[in-house]
Amino acid sequence: MGEEEALRYANTIVIRTSWLYSSYGNNFVKNILKYAKERPELNVVYDQVGSPTYAEDLAKAILTIIDQNVKHHHIFKRGIYHYANKGVCSWFDLAQNIVSYYNLPCKINPILTKDYPTPAKRPAYSVLNTEKFRTTFKQDIPYWKDSLNNCLTLLK
């Protein structure tokens, strides 16, 4: 309903994203890093896949859209767009990459969603199609592992 309301106004762009993380705030990447330093093992879901999105990449993409529209009003294309880093992984894969980057001794155990009960229901496949975003705004989107490494470097 929020998206529908926003799109009632002229010159509105709605950007959907997924699995957002950064070097700030509370998020999956920072939580895995914290717990992997404290515990010998972590159980992480492997049957949910998506595309992690580095908040810095999303912010840069939004600023580029704003810049394009200030300089070239004809580029503006209202509507709904998807933005997430390139590539697909599971939560387990993401956690493995974090632990590996820091060479932490924590073992990451793959588990099924049904074995990790949460109040929120999560889809098994939540990969966003970013084609419309890339072609409309002529922007390349970084690969998730490269962006994760950028974030992890900042967190060192």
Counts of helices then strands in the chain (DSSP H, E): 6, 8
pLDDT in tens, 54-97: 999 999 999 999 888 878 766 678 899 999 999 999 999 999 99
Q: What is the pTM of this model?
A: 0.93
Residues 6+ apart with CB under 8 A from 64: 137, 139
Distances (CA, A) of 151 to 98, 113, 136: 10, 26, 27
Residue that the structure tokens 């390139």 belong to: 86
Give the DSSP H/E element, type plus range, for residue 108.
strand 107-111
pLDDT in tens, 97-107: 999 999 999 99
Which region, left, alpha or beta, applies to residue 105 given φ > 0 means left and ψ of -120 to 50 means alpha? alpha
Per-residue pLDDT at 71: 80
Q: What backbone torsions phi and psi does residue 134 show, to the nearest 5 degrees? A: -65, -40
Residue that the structure tokens 């880093």 belong to: 85
Mean pLDDT of 44-59: 98
In this structure, the number of other CB atoms found within 10 A of the CB of residue 3 comes to 10
Per-residue pLDDT at 73: 66
Mean pLDDT of 20-35: 97
Q: What does CATH list as the number for 2-155? A: 3.40.50.720
Q: What is the DSSP string of 40-86?
A: SEEEEE-S-EE--EEHHHHHHHHHHHHHHHHH-GGG---EEEE---B
Residue ranges per domain, the chain?
A: 2-155
